[in-house]
A and B are shown apart, each in its own frame.
Chain A
Amino acid sequence: MRANTWHGTKSVQVEEVPDPKIINSRDAIVRITSTAVCGSDLHLYNGFIPSMKRGDVLGHEFMGEVVEVGRGVNNLEVGDRVVVPFPIACGSCSQCERENYSLCENSNPNAWMAEKMWGYSPCGIFGYSHMLGGYAGGQAEYARVPFADVGPLKVPEDMSDEQVLFLSDIFPTGYMAAEACNIQPGDVVAVWGCGPVGQLAIASAYLLGAERVIAIDRFPYRLQMARDRAGAAETLNYEQVDVRDALDTLTGGRGPDACIDAVGLEGHAPGLAGAYDKVKTSLMLETDRPVALRQAILSCRSGGTISVAGVYGGFIDKFPIGAIVNRSLTIRSGQTHVHRYMKPLLERIRQGQIDPSFVITHRMSLDDAPEAYDIFNNKEDDCLKVVLKP
């Protein structure tokens, strides 16, 4: 089959690899009909995630048709149309029982590697480094899905791929970020980062009753989508305005009730603050650039909530812990427990409350994956979300 494979920093290639087979009895093989490039794939592309090897098949947002099931899978049949959640979860460990699927204790066969690197191991994830399981990803014609009796969600035939594909990651991720804000009537939510997750966090905050959402980014096309499609009341270009001042004014001096960081470890900032983290990460003195997180913490109203949806991997510097302590802030975070949200969010899409496909800007063939990564990474051609068809 053809698959998009990693070949080093800023290098991916579509090449011929063997077809996947059932290895564990709870595996299923899915013929992929749609797959997407995620912002977190860019962290692999830019070499921020350790333990990648040349030839690794990328991709963790995918859906398709079941073509083979292992004998331990009783709830799926050949021909079923399914969306596959990006975290791999066993469904029976204590964390899965608590519905903390991204903390599954059994799904990472290379957990020792993550423990060496980080001191702990999260769940296994498709196409996301060897230390997170070394599983082949879904930017391919076929994928092996472990614990297929737990993860894949059957979707109705009358819904299009584009409507349901993002149940695999970014819609639940944006939604969980908004849910973590514990939104109350009258609440103003500020969202840093208007990539796909940021857009869906904005939309989800409204679904959950936010009074107003303020969106922050530096690309005009992203801010425009936040206003026009996600529904943000105000947008701030952080290269043009002082974000803290602007948020203060826009909220009558209170500060946003909740702040969502949908940026993560490759944040940018103008001026000294941005340069500082660039230098520190280049010298390996910190692994992540927490510019958005710092600003969110400093901007939030006292007693408010910081919800971190952006991916952070390691260690950061100049973390304003004083502001958290002295102002009683709550920080909530987590890799998305996708399984928990798939059914309820499918229902919201079905009822027409939201159509997450509004984030799609590019539809390309799997063979064009190298170009897709390039334009997405460089924010060229107003690229926000690429869907690939094998």
Chain B
Amino acid sequence: MHTQHDEYADNRTTTETLAYALGWFSIALGAAELLAPRQVARMIGIPPVEGAATALRAYGAREIANGVAILSQPGEAKWLWSRVGGDALDLATLGAAAGEYNTDARRLAVATAAVAGVTALDVLAAMRLSRSDDDVDVYGFNLKNEQAVTINVSLDTVESGWIEWCESGHGRLKNNYAIRFQPAPGARGTEVHLSGGGSTGTIREELRRFKQRMETGEVPMSDGPGLWRPAQPRDGQQTFAEVRQ
């Protein structure tokens, strides 16, 4: 049986394999540019003068860094997009060279065609990885930016508690969130899955405070919340506006 999950995983794997290959290509090309800039210059039809060699060394360092980044995170679209940017720079350099009198027009054309071919592959991999980042629809819900907590209270109580929590004005989420409640296995209470409505930190904090409220009746207060004041009692501190009842 070929499930949606398998299909997703297959696509992802193919793209990552391509990204991996591009990463190694980046490193190989970069090493050649860095170590033998004059030979590379000759090969692509540019006179091997000192200025060209210096530029090629810099390009080589960029290629290697980019390649290492891809190999360490082959699933990250941004490293592939970074390659696309590098390709654009390469193409611009070759285009600028094309007008010069002392270049080898035939070699330049071949090199430009080769870079354009690689650019197409880079764009393909980058787009595929970007797309799959957006719809990580693995088990029927969006894994990206979803946070979850298990509350040691029954499903019914948690669901009605959430409504009360929102109405009481203690929630700090923006409106565009998705929340899902499901019983945790083995009578472990209720799982609450939350996505959207704020940054990952905001979502985690919201879940934590809601859990505290449901399990202990209130949200415990620190004497030194954050690090902007010392952990010692304070004068004039307002008694916590309790969320209980």
Contacts and interface: CB of A to CB of B under 8 A. Distances in A.
A107 B215 CA distance: 11
Contacts of B204: 112, 115
Contact of A136 (B215, B216, B223): B223
Contacts of A24: 218, 220-221, 240, 242
A22 B227 contact: no
B233 A124 contact: no
A130 B205 contact: no
B225 A90 contact: no
Interface string B197-229: 000010011001001100111111111111101
A25 B223 CA distance: 15
Interface residues of B, number: 35
Nearest to A146: B220
B202 to A, nearest CB: 10
Contacts of A17: 232-233
Contacts of B205: 112
B188 interface: yes
Contact of A135 (B223, B226, B227): B223
Given A17-B233, A57-B232, A147 B223 contact: no
A56 B216 contact: no
Interface residues of A, number: 47
Interface string A207-219: 0000000000000
Contact of B231 (A23, A56, A97, A112): A56
B174 interface: no
A333 interface: no
Contacts of B235: 18
Interface string A58-74: 00000000000000100
Contact of B188 (A19, A88, A94): A94
A377 interface: no
A25 B233 contact: no
B175 interface: no
A251 interface: no
A51 B225 contact: no
Nearest to B188: A94
A362 interface: no
B152 interface: yes
B231 A94 contact: no
B205 to A, nearest CB: 6
Contacts of B231: 53, 55-57, 127, 130, 133-137
Interface in B72-120: none
A51 B217 contact: no
A93 B153 CA distance: 9
Contact of B232 (A92, A115, A136): A136
Contact of B233 (A72, A107, A133, A144): A144
B239 interface: yes
B230 A56 contact: yes
Contact of A56 (B152, B232, B234): B232
A23 B215 contact: no
Contacts, number: 131
Given A106-B212, A112-B205, A94 B150 contact: yes
A135 B229 CA distance: 11
Contacts of B229: 53, 55
A135 B217 contact: no
A92 B218 contact: no
A21 B189 contact: no
Contacts of A134: 222-226, 231
A20 to B, nearest CB: 4
Interface string A88-112: 1011111001000000011101111
Interface in A1-34: 1, 3, 5, 17-26
Given A17-B232, A17-B233, A25 B242 contact: yes
A53 B188 contact: no
Contacts of A124: 220, 222
Contact of B218 (A5, A25, A53, A97): A25
B244 interface: yes
Interface string A105-149: 111011111010000000010010010011111000000101100
A318 interface: no
A150 to B, nearest CB: 9
Contacts of A97: 152
Nearest to B244: A25
Contacts of A90: 212, 215-216, 220
Nearest to B230: A55
B218 A26 contact: yes
B224 A56 contact: yes
B217 A26 contact: yes
Interface of B: 150, 152, 188-189, 201, 204-205, 208, 211-212, 215-227, 229-235, 237, 239-240, 242, 244
19 contacts: A17-B232, A18-B232, A22-B239, A24-B218, A24-B242, A55-B231, A56-B230, A90-B215, A92-B152, A94-B188, A109-B220, A110-B222, A124-B220, A130-B224, A130-B227, A133-B222, A134-B224, A144-B223, A146-B221
Given A20-B223, A26-B216, 19 more contacts: A18-B232, A18-B234, A18-B235, A23-B240, A24-B242, A25-B217, A53-B229, A55-B232, A57-B230, A57-B232, A94-B189, A97-B152, A106-B212, A106-B220, A110-B222, A112-B201, A113-B226, A146-B220, A147-B220
Q: 10 tightest CB-CB pairs across the interface, nearest first?
A: A55-B230, A134-B224, A109-B222, A134-B222, A20-B233, A134-B231, A136-B223, A56-B231, A18-B235, A90-B216
